[in-house]
Amino acid sequence: MLRANSALSSSNAPAVLLDGVSKRYDEATVLAPLSLAVEPGERVALIGPSGAGKTTLLRLIAGAVAPSTGCVELRGRNVASLRPGRELARLVGMIAQQFDLVPNLSVLHNVLAGRLGEWSFGRSLLSLVWPRDQRLAFEALERVGVTHLAHQRAARLSGGEQQRVAIARVLVQRPTVVLADEPVASLDRARAREVVRLLTDVTEEQGETLVASIHSIDLAREFFDRIVGLRNGLVQFDVPAFSIRDRMLEDLYEIEGLRSEV
């Protein structure tokens, strides 16, 4: 069945390890030097105000940008040393906020795009006309509950359905670490809750590690093991989800110079 590609990497290394990682764009420091370790199978929520560096942190883990200092390791392997493409895709997959699917392609093709790293060129070309690995795709679609939409074009789907398809795509990709950047920001509360529940459930079933930035504290508390609060590119707190206190959240989201007197 669907299992993460854990055989690739040393077994007791952390799933994600950031060691003294910082990121500067020109003169602006987006991420101050920070260190963070995520154990295999852990579900970590990143919270914090806009501009705190959540997206940058996720992009660093995904290998989409290189750190200015420090190093990022996935299962003990330095991300900078991995070739982009198949090698990286086996270790890390990502779900974005929206507009992530190819609108003119069917849902089935969009899900199978998660296999592009594994397929040869000929197989990819053939799959445009006669999709390969269909059973895998249908299993993933069934898991996220949208099998009936398999032959619809992605453009015709609602926001919630699109995110389910994006999750199915990561399911067939089978990375050891799944990243999600505000995966439910464009959904209403009820649908957001369903999608986050699905995301945490399926990654847990596959034994994958999940790191997600999320703006809803309630969802972070309910579905994640651990909450990391980021502010101005620094880790302000890093605690088990059950032990988070209102005071910590007030400090995290406080607007500078506007501190309310309690």
Partner 1 sequence: MRSEYPISRGRPRAIESRRTITLILLGAFALSLLGIDWSEGVFRPRGVSAIGETLGAFIRPDLSPDLLRTAAAAAWQTAVYAVAGLTVALLIGIPLGVVASGTIARSRLGAVTQIGAARAVLAFFRAIHELVWALLLVAAIGLSPMAAVLALGIPYGGILGRIYSELLQDVPQAPLDALRRSGASEWRVFLFGRLPMALPDMVSYTFYRLECGIRSAAVLGWVGLGGLGFQVQIALEDLAYSRVWTFLWALVVMVVLVDLWSSQVRRRLAP
Residue 161 in 3-state DSSP?
helix
Closer residue to partner 1 in complex, CB, 141/220: 141
Which residues would be at the binding site for partner 1 (CB under 8 A)?
62, 64, 84-86, 88-90, 92-94, 96, 99-105, 109, 113-119, 121, 124-125, 128, 153, 155-156, 166, 169-170, 173
- φ, ψ at 40 (rounded to 5°): -55, 135
Q: Smallest distance from the beta carbon of 122 to partner 1, in angstroms?
A: 11
Ramachandran category for residue 254: left, alpha or beta (phi over 0 → left; psi -120 to 50 → alpha): beta
Letter string b/e over residues 208-235, b meaning 16 or more CB atoms within 10 A of that residue's CB? bbbbbbbebbebbeebbbbbbbbbebeb
Closer residue to partner 1 in complex, CB, 93/233: 93
Q: Smallest distance from the beta carbon of 222 to partner 1, in angstroms?
A: 27
Residue 40 in 3-state DSSP?
coil
Q: Smallest distance from the beta carbon of 118 to partner 1, in angstroms?
A: 7
Q: By CB neighbour count within 10 A (0-12 exposed, 13-18 middle, 19+ buried), where does 2 fall?
A: middle
Q: Smallest distance from the beta carbon of 117 to partner 1, in angstroms?
A: 2
Closer residue to partner 1 in complex, CB, 153/215: 153
Nearest to 165, CA basis, from 219, 89, 99: 99
Nearest to 170, CA basis, from 112, 253, 127: 112
Closer residue to partner 1 in complex, CB, 44/177: 177
Partners of 44 in the β-ladder? 211, 226
Q: Smallest distance from the beta carbon of 101 to partner 1, in angstroms?
A: 6
Q: Smallest distance from the beta carbon of 27 to partner 1, in angstroms?
A: 16
Residue with token string 């880790």: 235
